[in-house]
Structure 1
C-alpha cells in the first residue's frame, strides 16, 4: 500500500530528528593535536547509514589522514540530469563547554529546539538531505538521472574536502547543486566572496626611548590600515549595496606586534602583522582589488624610504550568483513555495560555502536549509526540530522537480 503524505511526513520527521541527534553526538571538530580530533567517526557513521539504504552506492575517499569524504550515488537507470546535495561533516569548536546551557554534543531537545554544535551548521541539514533521498527511494518515486550526496570534510577551514571531490571528477557532470546550510529555508542565489590576505611590515628593533635608532613598523601599519578603510569606502561607492549580500567589506582582523617573541613596552618591534578578511560582491574583481592594495603600498613607499612590506594571499574564494531562472533555483523555489505554503524569499549567503568551488567548476548552485542564519558558530547553537521536518520535505520535492523537468525547466 502506498504511503500517504501524512504518514510519509511523520516518518521522515522522526527519521531526520533521530539522525541529527546521532550525528551531533559524534564530535567532529578538527583538532590536529588530539587523537581522533577529526571527522572520521562522523563520516564513517554516515557511510554506514547510507549503506543501509537500498539504492545508494557508497564511496569513501580519504582527503587527509582521518578525514574522509563520503559520496552517495543514486542512479535512476534513466538518462537525465544529475543533482548534487552537499552537506559537510565537520563543525567548529564548541569553545568552553561550561559556557553552554546544555551539553554541546548532547543534542538535547528542549521546547522544540535541539541544542548542540552542528545542529544548525550543518548536521541538521546533512540529515535532511539524506532523509529526503531515503524517502524518495523508499516510496519508489519516479525520476530520471542521478542524485549525488556529497558529504565532505573541512568546510569550516580551507575546504579541502570539496576541492578533493572536484579534483576526483565527481562534479564534472553535475547539472545543479543544492548547498545544505542554515538559511531559514530561504532561496539563496548569491554568496559573498572571501579574499584573505596577510600583511607584514618590516622595521628595525630598538629601544623605545631611542626611537631614532630604530624603524617602527607600527606607524607604517597604521597608515596601511587607514588607507584600507578609505579603499573599503571607495569600493562600496563603486559597487553599491547588493540586494542580497549588502556591502563589500575590508576588515583587518588579527593585529600582532611583535609578530613573534615577547612584547615589551619599551621595545620597538622588528615586525608588525595584520590579516585582512575581505568580503566581496559578485561584480568585484579580486585581482583588481589586490592591485589597488599594491598601489597603497607603492604610494607609502614613495613617501617613506624605510617602508618595507610583504603580503600573502592566504585564500581566494570568488563571490557567486546564480540566475533566478536557472533550473536548480527554480526547482528549489517552487518546492519551497509548495512545502512552506507561502511565497519563498530570495536571499544571499553572507559567507562562503563549499558551493563556491562548485560554482567555479561551472555548477549552478543554490543554498537553502533549516536553521536561524545568525546562530552558526555561537554558544548554545540550536535548530528548531519542526524546521528539520520541513526542510526534509523541501529537499525531497526540489530533487523530484529538478530531475523531472523538461528542457524548459518545467516538470514533465
Structure 2
C-alpha cells in the first residue's frame, strides 16, 4: 500500500526545491518537513542554529537499535542565472529529468528519506528499534548543523548511519577529510610608479601557492582506500585598483586529506611554506576555517551488503562499493565511533551537483523512495539483539 502517491512525491520535491536555502534559510525547509511529518503523526524537533537557520530531528519507532539517516537542508548558489535553461528554484521535468538547484544535492535524497519514514510509519513496517532522521543546516559550508547535533548528543546512542548524499546507484563507505584554509598576506600600499616605497602583498602569496602545488602534488603517501591528498587553491583576492601596490591579499585553499597524510600534516606543511616566505620579509598567516577528518567504515558491514542487495534490482546492475574525495556530515557525526561502525553514503543524484542545470533522474528519485523504505525497515528489523553491527 502506498501512502504518498507518485504525484505527491514529486510535489514534495518541487516544494523543497522552491525554497532557496542557499547556505542559509534552512529553517524554512525544516519547517516544511516538520509540518509534512506531523500530518502522519511523526513528531519532529527544530534545532535552532541561528536566526533563519535550523536543523531537524525526527524519529519513528522506539528503543534499540537506533539507525540514523541524514541529509542536509542547504544548497549551493545557482551561479549565473542566465546560464540555466530553467528557473533553478522551480523543479522542471524534461525527458525524465527533474531540473533545479538541489535536485541532486540533495533535496531529492532528503525528500526520499522523509517519504520513506512516513511509509514505514503508516504501514507499521518497523517491528523494533528506532529510525532517527537528522536533517542538517549548513553542510555545504562548514557543517555547523552537524557539529551542533553531534555536540547535543544526537549521535551518542546511534548504532549505524546512512547519509543520502547523491551517490546514485553506487555506495560510498569512505571519504577524504576536507579542509578549508585561508592564507593572508600583508604588505604596504604605494603608488605603482614607486613600488620600492611599499610591499606587494601578492608576491609572497603567489610563491606560497606555487610551492604548495609542487609539494602536495609530489607527495608519495598513499592510503590503501582513499589514495593521495588533494590540494587546490580556489579563491585569490588582492588589490583595489590597477595603479596601487596592494597592501593585503588572501587565498582560500581546499584540501582533501587522508589517513596517510592527515589534516594536521597538511597544516604543518603549509606553515613551513609560509615560514620560508616570512623569513624573507613576508607577513603571511594561516587560518584553518574548516577541518574535517577522513571517514573509513568497513566495506563488508551488514548495512553496506544489504544496501547492495536491495539496490541491485533498482539499478538493474551490480552496485559498486567505493571511496570518494567528497566530504559529508559523517566527519562530524562519527568522531567518537569505532572503526567498525556501519556507515554508508547512498542517495539519488549524479555529477550535476553544484553545476548549472543540476538535475536528478525522476525514476531514480522515485526508486529511492521505495529503496529506502525497504532498506531502512529491513536493516533494523533483522538486527540481532539491540545492535546493528
* Aligned counterparts of 1:286 and 1:110: Cα–Cα separation in 2: 43
Unaligned runs of 5+ residues in structure 2 are none
Q: Flag the 1:330–1:143 CA change in 2: closer, same or farther, 3 A.
A: farther
Larger mean CA deviation between 245-254 and 140-149 belongs to 245-254
- The aligned counterpart of 2:331 is 356
- TM-score for both structures, normalised by structure 1: 0.86
- The aligned counterpart of 2:257 is 280
Q: Flag the 1:98–1:271 CA change in 2: closer, same or farther, 3 A.
A: closer
Among 226, 238, 246, which residue is 2:221 paired with? Answer: 238
Do the aligned residues in 2 keep the contact of 1:12 with 1:389 (CA within 8 Å)? no
* Aligned counterparts of 1:25 and 1:300: Cα–Cα separation in 2: 48
Among 262, 287, 291, which residue is 1:316 paired with? Answer: 291
Do the aligned residues in 2 keep the contact of 1:334 with 1:398 (CA within 8 Å)? no
- The aligned counterpart of 1:74 is 60
Which has the greater radius of gyration? 1
1:113 aligns with 2:97: yes
Q: Offset of 1:298 from its aligned partner?
A: 2.8
Q: Flag the 1:172–1:215 CA change in 2: closer, same or farther, 3 A.
A: same
* Aligned counterparts of 1:360 and 1:83: Cα–Cα separation in 2: 17
Do the aligned residues in 2 keep the contact of 1:188 with 1:347 (CA within 8 Å)? yes
Q: Flag the 1:204–1:26 CA change in 2: closer, same or farther, 3 A.
A: closer
Do the aligned residues in 2 keep the contact of 1:84 with 1:147 (CA within 8 Å)? yes
Among 183, 196, 208, which residue is 1:199 paired with? Answer: 183
* Aligned counterparts of 1:410 and 1:45: Cα–Cα separation in 2: 32
Unaligned runs of 5+ residues in structure 1 are 32-37
* CA deviation vs aligned residue, 1:205-259 (integer Å, no higher than 9, x gap): 3333333333333332222122101211233x2226x65x55422111222223x
- The aligned counterpart of 1:21 is 14
How many residues matched?
385
Among 40, 43, 55, which residue is 1:53 paired with? Answer: 40
Do the aligned residues in 1 keep the contact of 2:231 with 2:256 (CA within 8 Å)? yes
| CA RMSD of superposed structures (Å) | 2.5
Q: Offset of 1:48 from its aligned partner?
A: 0.4
Q: Flag the 1:387–1:270 CA change in 2: closer, same or farther, 3 A.
A: same
1:370 aligns with 2:345: no
Do the aligned residues in 2 keep the contact of 1:87 with 1:122 (CA within 8 Å)? yes
1:248 aligns with 2:194: no
* Aligned counterparts of 2:130 and 2:291: Cα–Cα separation in 1: 31
- TM-score for both structures, normalised by structure 2: 0.91
Larger mean CA deviation between 192-201 and 12-21 belongs to 12-21
* Aligned counterparts of 1:161 and 1:351: Cα–Cα separation in 2: 18
- The aligned counterpart of 2:315 is 340
Do the aligned residues in 2 keep the contact of 1:13 with 1:388 (CA within 8 Å)? no
* CA deviation vs aligned residue, 1:82-127 (integer Å, no higher than 9, x gap): 1111122222222343332222222122221111111111111111
- The aligned counterpart of 1:35 is none
Do the aligned residues in 2 keep the contact of 1:320 with 1:356 (CA within 8 Å)? yes
1:263 aligns with 2:256: no
